[in-house]
């Protein structure tokens, strides 16, 4: 069977007492045992039975197994948010005296995690242009614990050559860790691209219409003992495992992910093309447009679809604020890949707490609006954008 079919029909770990067709939500903190020896076996990992929901829960395991069917991964671990998946991953591979080679182009909180939080514990952030392979090569040394990147950076939409970065990682025996939130794993084969550990904000495409926060670590088994360390050390000591109700909602989201993604990415491409006809927009950035500088590389790595995020540039910050204020259909909200289309001014919101100098170095411009394209009819979206631009004059 194909992956999508397997994902839909993933069976429960244990038969349900009532033959429920959907995975029941096991809202329990703890689990009872028949005797002391079985209890000891469960706690020491000699048998695969849940003992406490900080570490394992059948509803969450079911969600993880569905993602495993779709990715063919060695193991999948679900967290309370994308940031929890990212922070757990980096805390597992890093240590005082180690360094992380990464880029200035990334999600604001990941940037702050690496540059502020981890820096306090003696982990060095080595920032470079990951599209310049020679520059990356120079920065990696014996103390580098990983190369970390976003496959499509949010919101700059930069794409690096994953094969070339993976080759550097192989030579140094370190993992290539990638945040793949921008294009879901139903459409990209991360393992074939050389990614060792994939992290995802499942809040976005997977949750199924912005129902809940969640994050995933997807371990392709190429980095010895990684997921075992996450389960045996990080989940126990840090405690950010996904909750059963969220796993239930995201399981339902996962079942329609492929269908939603196809419509949203095709809407985004259609809209990106049409937005170029509006004179108030100085630039439309979308990887699906043939003249985007990363178009060919993105196509080679991620296939024909380019996701549902695009950015437009207007004259200045005032024009951006007025555009956002004039929107009637598209919602003024953060988040990505909701069923509804969303608009935000990243410089003053997600990147607002950063200094102007930091924003400049990250190429976060005052002129940029980020749009997440939903499931609406493209005609209506185009009309809303056109009217919101028109009334600003
Ligand atoms: C939203 C996002 C995150 C953080 O995920 P949360 O679920 O909000 O914690 C991380 N990386 C990228 C690329 C994102 O878009």
Q: For residue range 157-187, what is the model confidence (pLDDT) as tens digits?
A: 999 999 999 999 999 999 999 999 999 999 9
Looking at ligand 1, which residue's alpha carbon is closest to its atom 6? Answer: 82
| Prediction pTM value | 0.96
| Pairing state between β 331-332 and 342-344 | parallel
Query: Per-residue DSSP letters for 151-204?
Result: SS-TTT-----HHHHHHHHHHHT--EEEE-TTS-TTT--TTTTT-SEEEEETTT
What is the whole-number distance in angstroms between the Cα of residue 156 and the centre of ligand 1? 14
Length of the chain: 393
The minimum-distance atom of ligand 1 relative to the CA of 213 is 7
What is the whole-number distance in angstroms between the Cα of residue 180 and the centre of ligand 1? 10
As a whole number, mean pLDDT of residues 29-54 equals 95
213 in ligand 1 pocket by Cβ < 6 Å? yes
Mutation choice for ligand 1 from 112, 203, 217, CB with most ligand atoms inside 8 A: 203
Q: What is the mean pLDDT of the chain?
A: 96
* pLDDT at residue 13 in the model: 87
389: closest CA among 291, 303, 278?
278
**CA-based Rg of the chain, rounded to a whole angstrom?**
22
- The whole-angstrom separation of Cα 293 and Cα 299 is 11
108 in ligand 1 pocket by Cβ < 6 Å? no
What is the whole-number distance in angstroms between the Cα of residue 35 and the centre of ligand 1? 43
* pLDDT at residue 313 in the model: 98
What is the whole-number distance in angstroms between the Cα of residue 389 and the centre of ligand 1? 29
**Strand ranges for the chain from DSSP E:** 75-79, 99-102, 124-127, 144-150, 176-179, 197-201, 215-219, 283-285, 309-313, 331-332, 342-344, 368-372
82 in ligand 1 pocket by Cβ < 6 Å? yes
**Secondary structure letter of residue 242 according to DSSP:** P
* pLDDT at residue 392 in the model: 41
Looking at ligand 1, which residue's alpha carbon is closest to its atom 5? Answer: 82
Q: Using CA of residue 149, residue 151, residue 153, residue 157, what is the dihedral sign?
A: positive
* pLDDT at residue 1 in the model: 86
- The whole-angstrom separation of Cα 157 and Cα 66 is 29
* pLDDT at residue 2 in the model: 87
Contacts of 85 (CB under 8 A, 6+ apart): 77, 79, 199, 200, 201, 215, 216, 217
Q: For residue range 64-119, what is the model confidence (pLDDT) as tens digits?
A: 999 999 999 999 999 999 999 999 999 999 999 999 999 999 999 999 999 999 99
**Confidence class for position 15, pLDDT limits 50, 70, 90:** confident
Structure tokens at 376: 């609406």
79 in ligand 1 pocket by Cβ < 6 Å? no
* pLDDT at residue 7 in the model: 82
What is the whole-number distance in angstroms between the Cα of residue 121 and the centre of ligand 1? 23
- The whole-angstrom separation of Cα 106 and Cα 104 is 6
* pLDDT at residue 151 in the model: 98
* pLDDT at residue 393 in the model: 39
Q: For residue range 197-236, what is the model confidence (pLDDT) as tens digits?
A: 999 999 999 998 999 999 999 999 999 999 999 999 999 9
CA distances from 344 to 140, 215, 331, 373 (A): 35, 22, 9, 12
Mutation choice for ligand 1 from 79, 80, 105, 154, CB with most ligand atoms inside 8 A: 154
Say which residue the tokens 């389960």 belong to.
231
């Amino acid at each position: 069977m194909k992956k999508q079919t397997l994902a839909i029909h993933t069976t429960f770990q244990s038969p349900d007492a009532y033959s429920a067709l959907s995975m029941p939500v096991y809202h329990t903190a703890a689990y009872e045992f028949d005797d002391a020896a079985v209890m000891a076996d469960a706690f020491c990992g000699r048998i695969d039975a849940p003992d406490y929901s900080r570490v394992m829960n059948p509803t969450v395991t079911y969600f993880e197994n569905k993602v495993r069917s779709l990715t063919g991964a060695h193991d999948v671990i679900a967290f309370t948010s994308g940031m929890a998946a990212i922070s757990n991953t980096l805390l597992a591979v890093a240590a005082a005296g180690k360094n992380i080679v990464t880029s200035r182009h990334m999600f604001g909180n990941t940037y702050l995690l690496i540059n502020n939080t981890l820096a306090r514990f003696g982990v060095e952030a080595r920032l470079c242009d990951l599209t310049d392979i020679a520059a990356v090569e120079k920065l990696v040394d014996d103390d580098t614990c990983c190369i970390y990147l976003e496959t499509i950076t949010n919101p700059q939409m930069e794409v690096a050559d994953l094969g070339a970065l993976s080759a550097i990682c192989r030579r140094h025996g370190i993992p290539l860790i990638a945040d793949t939130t921008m294009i879901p794993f139903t459409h990209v084969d991360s393992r074939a691209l050389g990614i060792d550990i994939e992290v995802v904000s499942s809040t976005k495409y997977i949750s199924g219409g912005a129902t809940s926060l969640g994050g995933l670590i997807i371990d392709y088994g190429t980095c010895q003992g990684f997921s075992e360390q996450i389960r045996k050390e990080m989940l126990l000591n840090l405690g950010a495992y996904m909750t059963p109700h969220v796993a239930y909602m995201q399981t339902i989201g996962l079942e329609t992910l492929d269908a939603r993604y196809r419509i949203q990415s095709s809407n985004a491409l259609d809209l990106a093309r049409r937005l170029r006809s509006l004179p108030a927009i100085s630039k439309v950035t979308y990887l699906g447009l043939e003249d985007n500088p990363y178009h060919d590389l993105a196509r080679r790595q991620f296939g024909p679809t380019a996701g549902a995020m695009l950015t437009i540039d207007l004259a200045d910050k005032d024009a951006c604020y007025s555009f956002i204020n004039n929107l009637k259909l598209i919602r003024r909200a953060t988040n990505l890949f909701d069923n509804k289309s969303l608009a935000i001014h990243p410089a003053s919101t997600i990147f607002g707490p950063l200094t102007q100098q930091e924003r400049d170095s990250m190429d976060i411009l005052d002129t940029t609006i980020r749009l997440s394209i939903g499931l609406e009819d493209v005609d209506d979206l185009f009309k809303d954008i056109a009217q919101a631009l028109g009334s600003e004059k």
